[in-house]
Amino acid sequence: MTRTTVALSLMLTSLAGLTGCMSNERKPLSTPEPIRAAEINLEIGMDHFRKGNLAQAKEKIDRSIEQNPRNAKAQITAGMLYDRLGETSKADAHFAKGLSLDPKNPEVQNNYGAYLCQKGRYDRGEKLALEAAGNPLYTTPEAAYLNAASCARNAGDLKRSEENLRKAVAVRPKFGEALIQLAELEYKQADYLSARGFLERYLAVGRNNPASLWLGVRIERGLGNAAAAQNYAQRLKSEYPRAAQTKELLESERNPG
- Please report, for the chain, the start and end positions of each structural domain, with discontinuous segments joined by +: 173-257
pLDDT tens digits along 1-42: 445 444 454 555 555 544 444 444 444 444 468 899 999 999
SS3 209: coil
Residue 241 has pLDDT above 60, yes or no: yes
Distance CA 66, CA 153 (A): 38
Cα–Cα distance between 206 and 202 in angstroms, integer?
Answer: 5
Q: How far apart are CA 111 and CA 12, in angstroms?
A: 9
Pick from 176, 180, 118, 170: nearest CA to 145 = 170
Q: Give the amino acid at 148.
A: A
What pLDDT is recorded for position 84? 96
Query: In whole angstroms, what is the distance from residue 117 CA to residue 4 CA?
Result: 10
Tens-place pLDDT, residues 203-216: 999 888 999 999 99
Residue 56 has pLDDT above 80, yes or no: yes
Average pLDDT over residues 35-60: 96
Architecture of the domain whose range is 173-257: Alpha Horseshoe (1.25)
Which pLDDT tens digit goes with each residue over 133-162? Answer: 999 999 999 999 999 999 999 999 999 999
